[in-house]
Amino acid sequence: MVLAVTMGDPAGIGGELTLAAWLRRDQIDVPAFVALDDPSRLASLAEKLGWTVPLRVVETAEEARDCFGDALPVLPVALATDAVPGQADPRNAPAVIASIDRAVAMAMDGQVEGLVTQPIHKATLYGSGFAFPGHTEYLAHLTKAAEPSIMMLAGAGLRVVPLTIHEALSSAIARLDGAMIETMAHRVAGALTQDFGIAAPRLALAGLNPHAGEDGALGDEEVRFIRPAAERLRAAGLNISGPHAPDSMFHAAARANYDAALCLYHDQALIPLKTLAFDEGVNITLGLSIVRTSPDHGTAFDIAGKGVANPASFIAALREAQMIAGLRGAQTHKSRRAGR
């Protein structure tokens, strides 16, 4: 199995995470991966950090798999100018986007089993004309997804899905309705089966207001559309509980009762996930025709180039991509055999 690893912002910590994971390849048993990056940048970074990382420029995933044990395979994506750790440069934005484009094309063509994206700096990309809120939306565009992709965060035995993501809280609340909850619940349940091998997924739905509204005393959204949506989902056969009081659904005993939590806005999902798994959280995009994961952190410009960035989240993202790709491959093989 070979995974494609994108460049991320070259001024951030993505490059050193890629190098660090390769150095740990024998201890952590990660799948082979190919870095879509500037080989000169990676070589310079490794030298600066004092890390012995031989690089091998390759043209195909097959070459990457064959050499991975001895060298870090790099499929060249040239930067416009030298990257300075901690200093984002809009001149390199086209290379960041090109790395993503190439990785997606390789995954769609079956050259790699999936991709792991290093963190981007969205403000830098916006300045170069990038018109998408983030990776998740851009990947849906590139893969021509029929439905909007879904962001899942996973770590420390917790999976969370925010129903609304990168928007003001007032806008997110205004967009919520029962139809959105029902659609997302069905899609997440399907993804838990397809990508995680969970035959009968258990979902937990968060409420919006403190104490899930206290039967309308602290807000009426639960009464008006959240609880009715949950009841319709249960009537349709989904194993979904809630709406739960958001402040009491993420402790250990509560987490044992569900496979994924459906949260109604960004921070409701990400605060518990990052509290429990700040160094090992993984961002997983559901609803794509390809496998995509990412470390659940940003570019960390303040520590870039110092060799102190923790690669645990990136390594977890590699493992998660490997697991999902393996399950999808097994299901495809099973379907083909059944169709004979």
Q: What pLDDT is attached to residue 334?
A: 59
Those residues of the chain that have pLDDT short of 70 are 332-340
Distance of CA 251 to the CA centre of its chain: 23
Q: What pLDDT is attached to residue 165?
A: 87
Domain boundaries, the chain: 1-146+289-340, 157-279
Q: What pLDDT is attached to residue 330?
A: 78
Angstrom distance (rounded) from CA 176 to CA 102: 35
Query: CA dist 215 to 23, 115, 230, 233, 317, Å?
Result: 55, 44, 15, 20, 40
Assessment of whether the complete model's pTM goes beyond 0.85: yes
The tens digit of pLDDT for each residue in 59-74 reads 999 999 999 999 999 9
Q: What pLDDT is attached to residue 118?
A: 98
Q: What pLDDT is attached to residue 148?
A: 85
Structure tokens given for 257: 């009762």
Angstrom distance (rounded) from CA 29 to CA 114: 17
Q: What pLDDT is attached to residue 337?
A: 53
Structure tokens given for 284: 């997983």
Hunting for tokens 């024998």 — which residue is that?
26
Region 1-146+289-340: CATH code: 3.40.718.10
Domains 1-146+289-340 and 157-279 share a fold: yes
Fold exhibited by the domain 157-279 = Isopropylmalate Dehydrogenase (3.40.718)
